[in-house]
Homo-oligomer: A and B are copies of this chain.
Amino acid sequence: MDEPKESGRRGRGRRPAAEVRETVLETAGAMLFETGLTGITFEKVAARAGASKMTLYKWWPSPGALAFEAYYTAVEDTLAFADTGDIERDLTAQLHSFVGLLTTPATGHVIAQLAGASQTDPALADALAQHYTHPRRRLAVDRLTRAQRAGQIRAEVDPQVVVDQLWGACYHRLLLPDEPLDTAFADALIDNLLRGIRG
């Protein structure tokens, strides 16, 4: 079967693959925020993005993988990690953005729903790890490692553990909500960890 030509905003001819990919991710991201994970099928995304379903099958192993990459792409700019040279300032800015994202109903509910569904769906869990949590963790570890080289964090500290004590602590308040998730909480997380809590 011949693959149908991509149709789209340019109206004629075949669009470059990178452009199609970008449109598909934007479309899947918008659908994810509108309808949640259940709204994401290759067929629906392809139809709305003006792309062929075969192209989507070629690029993503599952609709879940597409959904996570779309989510990651949608929130990438919000969650970018600054490097001003001051780790406390950069952690504060990044965690404030992150808390903002988790407490905005559209984005917060989506990530909670994705994390929840991945508990009983191993393929979804793999896609979430590969397309979302691994890349995000790497960005944080990179910034923390630079702070270590700059002598702002002790050399023996494992940056991976710090990720769980900052971002992981926020996910805990999102997924098992007992206490408020806000910027004051983010500031307390950073203060506890940088200074230590010992009396």
Contacts and interface: CB of A to CB of B under 8 A. Distances in A.
A148 interface: yes
A165 B169 contact: yes
Nearest to A176: B133
A189 interface: yes
Contact of A128 (B112, B154, B176): B176
Interface in A98-122: 112-113, 115-120
Nearest to A160: B179
Contacts of A4: none
Contacts of A80: none
A171 B176 contact: yes
A194 interface: yes
A19 B154 CA distance: 54
A185 interface: yes
A48 interface: no
Contacts of A196: 193-198
B194 A198 contact: yes
Interface string A160-199: 1110110111111101111100000100110011111111
A151 interface: yes
A47 interface: no
Contacts of A168: 168-169, 171-173, 176
